[in-house]
Structure 1
Amino acid sequence: MKRAFTLIELLVVIAIIAILAAILFPVFAQAKFAAKKTVDLSNAKEIGTAIKIYLGDSDDTMPIFYAYNSDPSIYSPAAHHGTEVLLLPYTNSKEIFRSPLDSGGPYLANEVGSAKNADSYWKAYGSSYRFGHCTFTTAANESSQNNQFAVYDAVSQSTNVTRPVIETSMEFPAETRVIRLEMFGFFEKKNDPECTRYGYDCGYFKNWDPSGGSMIFSDSHAKHINGMGSFDESRVDPAGHKSGEPATDPNAWSGTWYSLCD
């Protein structure tokens, strides 16, 4: 005669399954997150390579700077203008500019058009990666940020001007960041309680990667940045000013070159 499971035996089996699940699920989650970080860094390396190829076709002149544009009506004819658009012929895929870590942020609820309530910066603005003010070319009545042409150029200390950036003008190409992941975990409020160091955790911040994020340098290499020290020590303009270096420009709201060039 076949013997059925007793209630106690069934409960023991369920308990064992629950214990195994509790052990394995965090491992699976960590593995999934590690895979996302790997793809994110791979994307960054490909973007770095694309910039090098672009420079070869553009007399070593960096692409035009754009950021956070969600309203194409400032251009005629109306169309999205972005640095990633200029690089697209050299990447052959818009997906390269989409980080798998990109889960958007609270500010997107305030955006306009198709960017409103977008679930990623890539959907809202065309890129999960931030292009640096001072390491890309600014062009009068073309460079734009937040749907305005009023882009401040820290090098010339002027607004809405034309200033080309030539690759060979970079004093420290291996140390100068040109692009970075939009959200770094250390931008959170506990490291910036008054929102005056990085300016994110005051309505913009979402923790994409607690350990840091990818950064692309002028010499085209990319690496994962793990902390504030490495971030602040990276250089942000052709002359080689460091991100965390004090700046006297009145437009430096953080008191550092980060707020002028990032």
Structure 2
Amino acid sequence: MKTISINPRTCTQCGICIEICPTGLIIQSNEGIPVMPDEVGNFCSKCGNCEAFCPESAISPVFDTKHADTPKENIADIMPGQLGTYMQQRRSIRNYKNRKVDRALIEEMLDIVRYSPSGMNNQPVRWLVVHDPEKVRKLTRLTMDWMRDIRDGDNMHPLKPMVPALIAAYEAGKDPICRGAPHVAIAYAAEANPMAFTDSIIALSWFELAAPAFGLGACWAGFLKIAASEYQPLIQELDLPNGHVLQYSMMFGYPKYKEQNIPGREPSRITWK
């Protein structure tokens, strides 16, 4: 199966694509032009490295794909100080404005997140965006029902010591699950994919890191993730496709407060050998 096309008129035979191919599928033909033999095309992960690093743009995919709408003149280096400050300012947001985020803005974020790395470029992550705030509140209610079952049941659950306090907070009018966020992003994937969980965590990390650039904030919804992995009413509410399971969840929206300072952290723990 052919997966890439190399234009012999623009290819300068520099050999970068041969060296950069992670699976070594591109070879030099007798004519000197790099080729990927059709018989090894099935092993191509479609990562796009050959296309990305070709200095002459001589390589193009022959499979269905969606390129980023990013003009080359917009691709610029980011100084370490700028990147460092942006990343250090990242906060887990647990207080939100009562304001919905436009779907177009969320789609713009996810268009960036689809470039997050995944094992063998498998790209297993799918998204369920709970956009209706009332449906988010329902996810919270179902999670609290799950916690009440844990509290009242005879079985020992790892969360059993802490659920009474969470239930009390909820019954006092607080939301200890989604923190009043208007939206929830759920990364899910095929249950049979052994790398899907790691790939989903990476994708959600990109989502959280991209959020401040769009004026948004996010926070990992751990209690929701655990409940949606074992509580049948919540699993039914999410209604994921057959054979797919929730990998992790994240609340997000417009932050109620603006961070003013960067707090400290423990020094890096490094072992050199």
Indicate the structure (1 or 2) with the bigger Cα radius of gyration: 2
Instruction: Give yes or no for TM over 0.5.
Output: no
Q: Give the structure, 1 or 2, with the largest relative contact order (CA under 8 Å, sep 6 or more).
A: 2
Q: Normalising TM by the smaller chain, what interval?
A: under 0.3
As a proportion of its length, which structure holds more strand? 2
